[in-house]
């Protein structure tokens, strides 16, 4: 199972680096867009594993017994559309890297 916390952190970093990469005044903006491309590509391929995205809670009571609770945020059959969205965002970040630098004329 993909843990929800790491999934959210990867999303925040990918979208954050993409947004910061659009600022041409920053000296590292091109590198941040490439990092955003890699995060989106990684998220897309990471979700192809057919795992659920959720939270695992482990509780230990006074006697030392463990109980594990799993809460599913997104089941594996629901991630097909998200895979295509992340791969599309990766392609978008890749082409915007070159378009903002003037290598591709629109």
The answer to pTM > 0.85 is: no
Query: Model confidence over 16-38: pLDDT tens digits?
Result: 988 888 877 777 777 888 899 99
Contacts of 71 (CB under 8 A, 6+ apart): 54, 55, 57
Domain ranges of the chain: 2-100
pLDDT in tens, 33-64: 889 999 999 998 888 887 788 888 898 888 88
Terminal Cα-to-Cα distance of the chain (whole angstroms): 42
Q: 24-29 contacts: CB < 8 A, separation 24 or more? A: 24/100, 29/100
């Amino acid at each position: 199972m993909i843990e929800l916390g790491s999934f959210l952190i990867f999303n925040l970093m990918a979208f954050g680096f993409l947004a910061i990469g659009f600022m041409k005044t920053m000296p590292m903006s091109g590198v941040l867009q490439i990092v955003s491309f890699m995060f989106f590509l990684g998220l897309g391929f990471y979700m192809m594993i057919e795992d659920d995205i959720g939270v695992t809670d482990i509780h230990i009571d006074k006697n030392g017994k463990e109980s594990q609770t799993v809460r599913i945020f997104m089941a594996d059959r629901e991630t097909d559309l998200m895979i295509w969205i992340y791969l599309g965002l990766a392609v978008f970040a890749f082409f915007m890297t070159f378009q903002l630098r003037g290598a591709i004329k629109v």
